[in-house]
A = this chain, B = another copy of it.
Amino acid sequence: MALCWEDLPMDKIDKKILISLQNDARVTVADLSEQVSLTSSPCWRRVKALEESGVIRGYHAELDPRRLGYDVTAFVSVMLENHRIDVGDSFEVAVQGIPQVVACHNVSGRYDFMLEVVATDLEAFGEFARNVLRTLPGVKEIYSSFSLKSIKHQRRLPLP
């Protein structure tokens, strides 16, 4: 059983630290400690504790897809042929290895999986859907919806 938040008492200072690190993962401990009204040692110890407890999974650079030539972001809903466990498993494994798939969830509802896919343009996406997605193990039906505009992309979790 994973630790959850009742097990790890997190006070207001920890929350402030997490807010800051979600905003800017590269703040110095010196700045961070000032923001949370602490000296750097206890602040540093808290950050380490949050990392080790698994609350902080990692630190990542956020890149601009368009500046990298990815003009297309698509949400692809995938329905599998049947719901046997092994079919889902091999689909999941296959998806992990496809770099164009930037996120994937097993979901409830009409479809089984929801993928977020990037592509350089619509043509490249079409080819990708035809040659890669449709040929994945057990795929029965796919439905693609394209992002016309990204309204909100900072994926910050609220810290009440």
- Residue ranges of A at the interface with B (Cβ–Cβ < 8 Å): 2-6, 8, 18, 21-26, 53-70, 73, 75, 92, 95-96, 99-111, 113-114, 116, 118, 143-159
Give the oligomeric copy count: 2
Q: Which of B8, B58, B75 contacts A62 (CB 8 A)?
A: B58
Which residues from B are CB-within-8-Å of A100? 158
Which residues from B are CB-within-8-Å of A153? 103
Query: Which B residue's beta carbon lies closest to that of A156?
Result: B102
29 A–B contacts, CB within 8 A, in A order: A4-B66, A5-B68, A18-B63, A24-B58, A25-B26, A53-B67, A55-B68, A56-B61, A56-B63, A57-B62, A57-B63, A57-B64, A58-B61, A59-B59, A59-B60, A59-B62, A68-B157, A75-B114, A92-B151, A95-B152, A96-B152, A99-B156, A99-B158, A102-B155, A106-B148, A109-B143, A109-B146, A111-B145, A118-B158
Q: A25-B25, A60-B62, A118-B157 are in contact. Are A148 and B105 (CB under 8 A)?
A: yes
Contact call A8/B67, Cβ cutoff below 8 A:
yes
Q: Which of A56, A61, A96, A157 has the most CB of B within 10 A?
A: A61
Which residues from B are CB-within-8-Å of A65? 157
Q: Which of A23, A67, A102, A110 has the most CB of B within 10 A?
A: A67
